[in-house]
Amino acid sequence: MNFEKNDLEDLLQKIIDITANSTKEEELKIGVEGELKDFFLKYEIKLDPRYEKSVFRGRIDALYGFLIVEYEKPGVMNTKSARDHAISQVKEYIEKLAVDQGVTKGSLLGVAFDGENIIYVRWGDKWIISRMYKMSISTLPQLLESFRGLYRGPLTSKTLTKNFGFNSDICRKMINKLTINLKSFKSKRNKVLYDEWFKFYSEF
C-alpha cells in the first residue's frame, strides 16, 4: 500500500519526539501505539491489537494478528547485549504463540523496536534475524506494512469460534435477521422450519 509522503514524514517526526521524551519502554509503547492508530485511521484501516497478551510465562507487548511487537527502552538496542536480549525475547514469544494459537512458527513475524532501531525476527528452516535498521523515512513504510499486512488473525478453532461462534456479534445479528425473515413468510412450510430452527437454537 502506498502511504502519502507527508503523512510518513509527520508520523516519523512524532515517533522521534515520543522517543526523545520517553525514558521507559511503556511510555514509548503508549505513545507510538496511539500515533499508529491515528495514522492508519487516515487510510480507513482499523487495527485492534491485543496488549500484554499472555503466552505461558511471558507477555507480548502488542500483538497484531501474526505480528509480535516487542518494545524496548528508547535507544537501548544500540548496545549488543540489549539487542541480543530483545531478539531472544521475540524468538521465545514466536515459539509460545505458535503453540498457543495452533499455527506454525513460520507464519509469525516478530519486531523488536526501541524508537530508534528496528529488528525483524522470523522462522524459516532456522531463525532469520534481520540487520538492525535505523528508524527513517525509508524504513518506516516496511514497518507500517508489517502492521497492516499481518494484522489478520490466524485461522484456528479459537479465532473462528471467537469471531463467528454463538457469542459473537456476527452470529447474533445473523440469527436476528433469520428470525425476522422466517417470521415474515406465512406459509406452513416456513412455520415448520421456523419452529424447528427456534427449538434448536434456543438451547444455546
Whole-angstrom Cα distance, residue 118 to residue 115? 8
Is 30 within the bounds of a domain? yes
Average pLDDT in the 86-103 region? Answer: 93
User: Same domain for 104 and 180?
Assistant: no
The per-residue pLDDT for range 163-198, each reduced to its tens digit, is: 667 777 777 787 777 777 766 766 777 777 777 766
pLDDT band at 203 (very low <50, low <70, confident <90, very high): low
User: Same domain for 134 and 182?
Assistant: no
71: left (phi over 0), alpha (psi -120 to 50) or beta: beta
pLDDT value of residue 10: 98
Domain of 11: which CATH number?
A: 3.90.1570
In a 13 Å sphere around the CA of 71, the CA atoms on its Cβ side amount to 22
Q: Is the pLDDT of residue 55 over 90?
A: no
Q: Is the pLDDT of residue 25 over 70?
A: yes
Q: What is the mean pLDDT of the chain?
A: 87
Query: Are residues 28 and 19 in contact, defined by beta-carbon separation less than 8 angstroms?
Result: yes
In a 13 Å sphere around the CA of 130, the CA atoms on its Cβ side amount to 18
pLDDT value of residue 180: 76
Q: Is the pLDDT of residue 201 over 70?
A: no
Is 159 within the bounds of a domain? no
User: Same domain for 195 and 122?
Assistant: no
Q: Which three cell numbers stand for residue 165?
A: 461462534
Element (H, E) at 90: helix 80-101
User: Same domain for 77 and 99?
Assistant: yes
Is 160 within the bounds of a domain? no
Q: Is the pLDDT of residue 155 over 70?
A: no
Is 158 within the bounds of a domain? no
Q: Is the pLDDT of residue 156 over 60?
A: no
User: Same domain for 55 and 20?
Assistant: yes
The per-residue pLDDT for range 116-142, each reduced to its tens digit, is: 999 999 999 999 999 999 999 999 999
Is 9 within the bounds of a domain? yes
Q: Is the pLDDT of residue 153 over 60?
A: no
User: Same domain for 54 and 123?
Assistant: yes
User: Same domain for 115 and 170?
Assistant: no
Average pLDDT in the 96-100 region? Answer: 91
> What value does the CA radius of gyration of the chain take, rounded to a whole number of Å?
22
Residue 53 in 3-state DSSP? strand
User: Same domain for 9 and 40?
Assistant: yes
Q: How many structural domains are present in the chain?
A: 2
Q: Is 0.85 surpassed by the pTM of this model?
A: no
User: Same domain for 34 and 131?
Assistant: yes
Q: How many residues appear in the chain?
A: 204
**Residue ranges making up the domain that contains 10:** 5-153
Return the bridge partners of 59, or none.
54
Q: Is the pLDDT of residue 8 over 90?
A: yes
Q: Please, what's the b/e burial string for 99-111 (b: 16 or more CB within 10 A of its CB; e: otherwise)? A: eebebeeebbbbb
